[in-house]
Amino acid sequence: MRDGSGAGRTVIVGGGAALAGTAGTAMAATAAAGLGVAGTDAAALVAAARDGDSRSLARLVSLAENGSPALRPVMRAVAPYAGHARVVGLTGSPGVGKSTVTGALVRAYRSGGLRVGVLAIDPTSPFSGGALLGDRVRMTEHATDTGVFIRSMASRGHLGGLSWSAPQALRILDAAGFDVICVETVGVGQAEVEIASLADSTLVILAPGMGDSIQAAKAGILEIADLFVVNKADRPGAHDVERDLRNMLAMAPRAPGAWKPPIISTCAASGDGIGDLVARLDEHWAWLGESGELDRRRVTRAREEISAIAVASIRLRIGALPGESRLDELSGLVAAGKLDPYSAADELIAG
């Protein structure tokens, strides 16, 4: 179901629950909500989410975020329905206006009748383990829009600008019938480029006063951009940022037929430049399909997701090896210089 009317639907912001929109979805949600985590009827939850019930959708995302054992049948249930949504990643340093740009994009896509999902990642405190989840505060104007689903997710210590469960949550939103899914990273530095493996189109957002021209020549986050967005373009120095980006792009090698990232100036708070940004995103989407790059990126996305799940399973398996005291013993030997870490790891795995 990919209509933009949103009739009979409800929205959940950050996982809070609202009443089901229709009698049918209410019954499905009530039945699903009464199931325990271990016995979750994945098919019923997925069917209710696809029918527009935001409570069921929020529950599915929570299963992903909490790493529930019920996530495996959920992923099997959503697999036939995923792969249709456009995924737009938004990244950049803290303070450049990622949430404001995200909100402006949601407004623009909704005006075109598209259903929009948002996954907004917020940093987790290394001391308390909590997160402010402030992105939902900045996008309150969409809280009552039944065609929008906004979910704030804590990074929970995961590096790269995303939450470890973001790929699974993205797949769930895709299967639920959203036309566009915006994934906003935490405020990142130059090396956090994980969003490029998750998004179809990656926006790198910059703003005046965030660094000198040397920053534009450094490798890292600027190299993953499909589109550059110079936000807060009404401030002094915006033209300097654009000039530095153009110089960087002029020096970068590019294969024939490759996409050249455009530079779009915006003032997202007022909506200036957002129309141009949406048009350029449409151009990039068309290029992805015509060039075959879309299929390549999605295969890469699936490969990264599979690898991450496999590595996590291996870590759990190692952690469950009999005799945790053995790990402590090996750690003491390594710390004392009596054993190297590779040999210790081999001994631990050998059991």
Answer yes or no: is 3 within a domain.
no
Q: Which domain holds residue 308?
A: 299-350
In this structure, the answer to whether residues 156 and 231 fall within a common structural domain is yes
Per the model's pLDDT, the better-predicted residue between 122 and 160 turns out to be: 122
Compute the average pLDDT of residues 279-285.
98
- Looking at every residue in the chain, the average pLDDT score rounds to 79
In this structure, the answer to whether residues 64 and 184 fall within a common structural domain is no
In this structure, the answer to whether residues 37 and 152 fall within a common structural domain is no
Q: Note the pLDDT of residue 346.
A: 87
Confidence of residue 115 (pLDDT cuts 50, 70, 90): very high
- The CATH number that applies at residue 154 is 3.40.50.300
Residue 211, C-beta contacts closer than 8 angstroms, at least 6 positions apart: none
In this structure, the answer to whether residues 286 and 303 fall within a common structural domain is no
In this structure, the answer to whether residues 212 and 327 fall within a common structural domain is no
Q: Note the pLDDT of residue 220.
A: 63
Per the model's pLDDT, the better-predicted residue between 19 and 344 turns out to be: 344
The answer to pTM > 0.95 is no
Could you say which of 80, 98, 121 is where a domain stops? 80
Query: Each residue of 311-328: pLDDT tens digit?
Result: 877 777 766 655 567 788
In this structure, the answer to whether residues 55 and 100 fall within a common structural domain is no
Tokens read off for 141: 């104007």
Answer yes or no: is 10 within a domain.
no
Query: Each residue of 180-206: pLDDT tens digit?
Result: 999 998 766 555 677 888 899 999 999
Please say if the pLDDT value at position 5 is more than 70: no
| Alpha-carbon torsion, ordered 99, 66, 314, 345, to 10 deg | 80
Q: Note the pLDDT of residue 27.
A: 35
Structurally, how many domains does the chain consist of? 3
In this structure, the answer to whether residues 245 and 304 fall within a common structural domain is no
Could you say which of 32, 58, 80 is where a domain stops? 80
In this structure, the answer to whether residues 187 and 262 fall within a common structural domain is yes
* Cα angle, residue 40 at apex, residues 75 and 4 outer, rounded to 5°: 60
Q: Note the pLDDT of residue 191.
A: 54
